[in-house]
Structure 1
Amino acid sequence: MLWLKAFHIVFMVTWFAGLFYLPRLLVYFVEAAEPDVRGRLKVMQRRLLVMTHIGMALAVGFGLALTSWWMKQAPDYLVQGHWFHAKMTLVVALLGYHAMLARLVAQARQDQLRRSSRWLRWFNEVPSVLLIGIVILVVVKPF
């Protein structure tokens, strides 16, 4: 179980690295005027998105394996209080954020990104809020 938890955390960190930096690359893209800079940013976005997809898939995979282990070993652990349900709600929101981010990268790739740099800067704060909520729910289990 500790190995599952360790790998879940490692790939969660990988996933969040992409979620934190991809919107910043989109800000740079929107603010760039030179075609060669925009082209370089498109390559960076595409490569980072691939790493982010891999981090997400492995974080979710190890998270499901960890949940399965808990369900077999201590079924009451996950249903005592509502912290796990709240955490899963935030994870679903995070998956939605990830999908929206992938859509924005696709729009940038086709030069159809219409969001302002200010909007993208605010959008970049969403994973921070979700991360704080998830960590508090897992560590503190407030309810």
Structure 2
Amino acid sequence: MLLTDIAVEHTLTPVKGGPRVTLVLHPFTNTQRDSLGKFEIVRGISEPGGKEVRRSTFVSFQQLAELYAKGVLDEFGFSVRMCPADGKYPTTNPVKKILPTSFKPGSQFDLAVQGVDVSKPASRELRTALLRTNVKL
């Protein structure tokens, strides 16, 4: 399922030359067992020895809204795995940093973000998911 409430333009530059193509990308839910129906968020971190690695975790629609409302994605440099509407991307689906300006005003996701009580602590499930990316809330 695509979350069409969020849309980001992405320009695809062919490796062997040719015309550039601009696509509109949306976050999409995973289809695998444990992460079925969840969105993938990705963060680059430095491991001991200076090696840069990417860590990802999967969050639900409501958890993604909570992370945006609390500013966690921006604060810790998270990106969201994206997919074009037709589902066809020539390589691995890209990750993009998504600003709240990319939300469709008044959409279901925008309302979910606005409805989050930021004074409440994050749920245990969300805190556990973020530990995979070395983030403690």
TM class, shorter-length: under 0.3
Query: TM-score scaled to structure 1, two decimals?
Result: 0.23
Q: Report which structure shows greater RCO (CA 8 Å, sep ≥6).
A: 1
Q: Which has the higher strand share?
A: 2
Q: Which has the higher helix share?
A: 1
Compare CA radii of gyration and give the structure with the larger one. Answer: 1
